[in-house]
Amino acid sequence: MTAHNRSRYSRYRGGPDPLAPPVDLAEALDAVAEDVMAGYSPRHALQEFLRRGGRNREGLDDLAGRVQQRRSDLLGRHRLDGTLNEVQKLLDTAVLEERKQLARDAMMDNTDRAFREMQLQNLPKSTAAAVNELASYDWQSSTAREAYDRIKDLLGREILDQRFAGMKQALEDATDEDRAAVNEMLQALNELLDKHRRGEDTDADFQEFMARHGHFFPENPQSVEELVDALAQRAAAAQRLLQSMSAEQREELMQLSAQAFGSPELMAQLGQLDSNLQALRPGEDWTGSERFDGEEGLGLGDGTGVLQDLAELDELAEQLSQAYSGSRLDDLDLDALARQLGQDAAVTGRTLADIERAMQDGGYLQRGVDGDLRLSPQAMRRLGRSLLRDTAKQLSGRQGRRDTRVAGAAGDQTGSSRQWEFGDAEPWDVTRTITNAIRRTIADGGDPGRGLRLAVGDIEVTETEARTEAAVVLLVDVSFSMAAEGRWVPMKRTALALHHLVSTRFRGDRLQLITFGRYAQTMDIGELTALPALREQGTNLHHGLLLAGRFFRQHPSMQPVLLLVTDGEPTAHLLADGESWFSYPPDPETIRVTVAELDRLGRAGMQATFFRLGDDPGLERFVARMARRIGGRVVAPEAGDLGAAVVGEYLRAHFRGRPYDDADWAT
């Protein structure tokens, strides 16, 4: 008979699921970029996305809300008199059974019976005082004696369960030998902790202790420090439990503790244990309290567990807030999250941590020289590609733009080809490329029939007619009105889309981004994307045109193209000493020097398009007059259409009015 190997399958427990799909960062990157362009820092933008979550994913705020709800449920469900109620029930049972026995015992001396009945009748109203008063009572009923002894057993197990989780169940029906073993463990534990406090313990001491008493510690600590951590957290929760009780409840329990197992030595050992733990872990919360107002009574052990749960929930709330210095989602305790909120919450927490890690470690965010996070060039390219794709969709809806075969990166094809060089964007000549590969393969002794492997030297591209390359200036208004009127983010999205188009599909062109507010300045795309809105008055178009002219002069062989985006008339100009002069309404001198600089650029052959945002009549008149002076164009798009308008005008200038197919450049 053939033996068959048997396999058993179970949940993977070695960490994150190795077969889980990779984290999709597209949504996160888009959300972060949108907030960055609105003026948030990349760090703040990433934190905001993680707090909000995605379309189909909870965020940190959702998890924090569930943590708070879980905390409220625990406080609203329980009260802390469970052990006192159990003791009272056992006491009532013992007294009742004793009275029954006295009534049945006809042989008992009447005087003795009367004395016993009076003793039972006059027990103190305090449960603890009654239990202590009956400590030396000579029970006549075996059932009553058993009930009273169960009080001592219950108290001992509950008090131990406060310090060692699960001890209440483990010591149920315990023998004298079991209790002796507990006393021996406590004595050895205190000796170990005493030595640890003095710095005299060794690893051999810990190993010897665990070999003898390790079965009392299901947490399986691997060092004395781990042992102290586990014990101190539980002991501190036990202290908070007592602080959460009323003064009367606390007093009752303190009196009852003397009856625990009928062993004063036990309480002495536990007192020493608490003293050792408080000395070793003073940073634990030993004095806090909670307000319980529920209906479900808790015993000392279970109540201590609830206090530990509350402490764990507070730690999770702090981790989820990410409000402390150096916070990262890697700090999130996923095991605690699963214990308190379920496995789905742990999966959500792990996914959010993966997104944060992938954004920072995967190249989308990087630290600048100032130590703060910034969008990386990789992130900028991905965003630019996405925005350009959106722009292409907008342009595709316009009439008369999709009726040509002209490629976006070159002019008309000449019919000849040449070898590919780095930076070429012309289409491949597939026939000649394959022919080159076949010839090279045969020359190398290979068999083309068994497959071809292309080499860079095989590639030929189709030659096109020479065209004029362009030096393009995108001149954008960054006065505060742009942000106040909701045009700030569309302006940045436009710049990203145009930058990506020029840098990937029209590499022969040169693009310069210039911003102008009170002053003008050149910026790279990363600086413009992260630029915050400033409450600064001034629209210094004059300075912007001066910088544009400098850029055009640096590229004298290229066609100068100006794309100007503004929502206000010029209200500032540059003085001879480099200072900016501001005046509203616009000063005649500001208009004069601005128009003079525009005329100078117009005489140099600049093609200009003015993108007017808003319906200000003064701006409309000013822009129209400037366009007429230099033969430029005026476009008045809505803010949401600005990207398509600017890209469309760039392509129109690039192809000199010829129609183009956006499918050729938007891929």
Closest Cα to residue 274, out of 284, 262, 259, 261?
284
**Domain count along the chain:** 4
Please provide the size of the chain in residues.
Answer: 667
344 and 248 co-located in one domain:
no
HSE on the CB side for 385, CA within 13 Å? 10
Q: What is the DSSP letter of 135?
A: G
pLDDT digit string (tens) for 486-501?
888 889 889 888 888 8
pLDDT digit string (tens) for 328-353?
888 999 999 999 999 999 989 998 98
Last-in-domain residue among 464, 499, 534: 464
Q: Is residue 211 part of a domain?
A: yes
636 and 595 co-located in one domain:
yes
pLDDT digit string (tens) for 26-83?
788 778 877 777 767 777 788 888 898 888 789 999 999 999 999 999 999 999 999 9
Asked if the model's pLDDT at residue 408 lies above 50, the reply is no
153 and 285 co-located in one domain:
yes
- Number of Cβ atoms within 10 Å of the Cβ of 383: 27
Cβ atoms of 356 and 46 closer than 8 Å:
yes
Last-in-domain residue among 291, 321, 337: 291
pLDDT digit string (tens) for 447-470?
777 778 888 888 888 765 545 688
| Structure tokens that stand for 203 in this block | 């690893």
Q: Is residue 106 part of a domain?
A: no
| Structure tokens that stand for 134 in this block | 């009956």
Backbone angles phi, psi at 476, to 5 degrees: -120, 140
Task: Tell me the β-bridge partners of 370.
Answer: none
pLDDT classification of 519: cutoffs 50, 70, 90: very high
Cβ atoms of 23 and 354 closer than 8 Å:
yes
Asked if the model's pLDDT at residue 618 lies above 50, the reply is yes
Rounded CA separation 436/453 (Å): 11
Rounded CA separation 503/272 (Å): 74
55 and 73 co-located in one domain:
yes
When pLDDT is averaged across residues 140-153 and rounded to a whole number, the result is 92
Rounded CA separation 248/145 (Å): 27
Backbone angles phi, psi at 284, to 5 degrees: -65, 155
Q: What angle do CA 428, 432, 434 make, to 5 degrees?
A: 90
490 and 546 co-located in one domain:
yes
* CATH at residue 557: 3.40.50.410
Rounded CA separation 403/622 (Å): 35
List strand residue ranges (DSSP E) for 119-161, in order: none
577 and 604 co-located in one domain:
yes
What pLDDT sits at residue 496?
A: 87
535 and 612 co-located in one domain:
yes
Q: Is residue 489 part of a domain?
A: yes
358 and 460 co-located in one domain:
no
Residue, of 644 and 653, whose pLDDT is higher: 644
- Number of Cβ atoms within 10 Å of the Cβ of 572: 28
Rounded CA separation 40/532 (Å): 7
- Min mean pLDDT across 59-63, 195-199, 261-265, 292-296 is at 261-265
Bond into 282 cis (ω within 30):
no
Backbone angles phi, psi at 519, to 5 degrees: -125, 170
HSE on the CB side for 634, CA within 13 Å? 18
Q: What angle do CA 518, 524, 528 make, to 5 degrees?
A: 55
424 and 531 co-located in one domain:
no
Last-in-domain residue among 396, 430, 464: 464
Torsion over CA of 287, 81, 162 and 136, rounded to 10 degrees?
110
Domain hosting residue 629, numbered range: 470-664
List strand residue ranges (DSSP E) for 517-617, in order: 520-523, 559-566, 572-574, 580-582, 607-612
Q: Is residue 478 part of a domain?
A: yes
31 and 169 co-located in one domain:
no
Asked if the model's pLDDT at residue 146 lies above 90, the reply is yes
168 and 260 co-located in one domain:
yes
Cβ atoms of 593 and 546 closer than 8 Å:
no
Taking CA atoms, 661 is separated from 396, 398, 400, 646, 647, in Å, by: 9, 11, 10, 16, 13
Backbone angles phi, psi at 296, to 5 degrees: -90, 115
Q: What is the CA radius of gyration of the chain?
A: 41
What pLDDT sits at residue 658?
A: 47
Task: Find all residues with CB under 8 Å of 253, minimum gap 6, and list them.
Answer: 83, 84, 128, 242, 245, 300
Q: Is residue 557 part of a domain?
A: yes
- Number of Cβ atoms within 10 Å of the Cβ of 290: 18
Q: Is residue 14 part of a domain?
A: no
Q: Is residue 307 part of a domain?
A: no
Rounded CA separation 191/273 (Å): 10
Task: Find all residues with CB under 8 Å of 422, minimum gap 6, and list them.
Answer: none
What pLDDT sits at residue 664?
A: 46
Rounded CA separation 171/156 (Å): 9
Q: Is residue 86 part of a domain?
A: no
Asked if the model's pLDDT at residue 609 lies above 60, the reply is yes
Cβ atoms of 609 and 563 closer than 8 Å:
yes
When pLDDT is averaged across residues 188-202 and rounded to a whole number, the result is 94
156 and 181 co-located in one domain:
yes
Residue, of 258 and 250, whose pLDDT is higher: 250
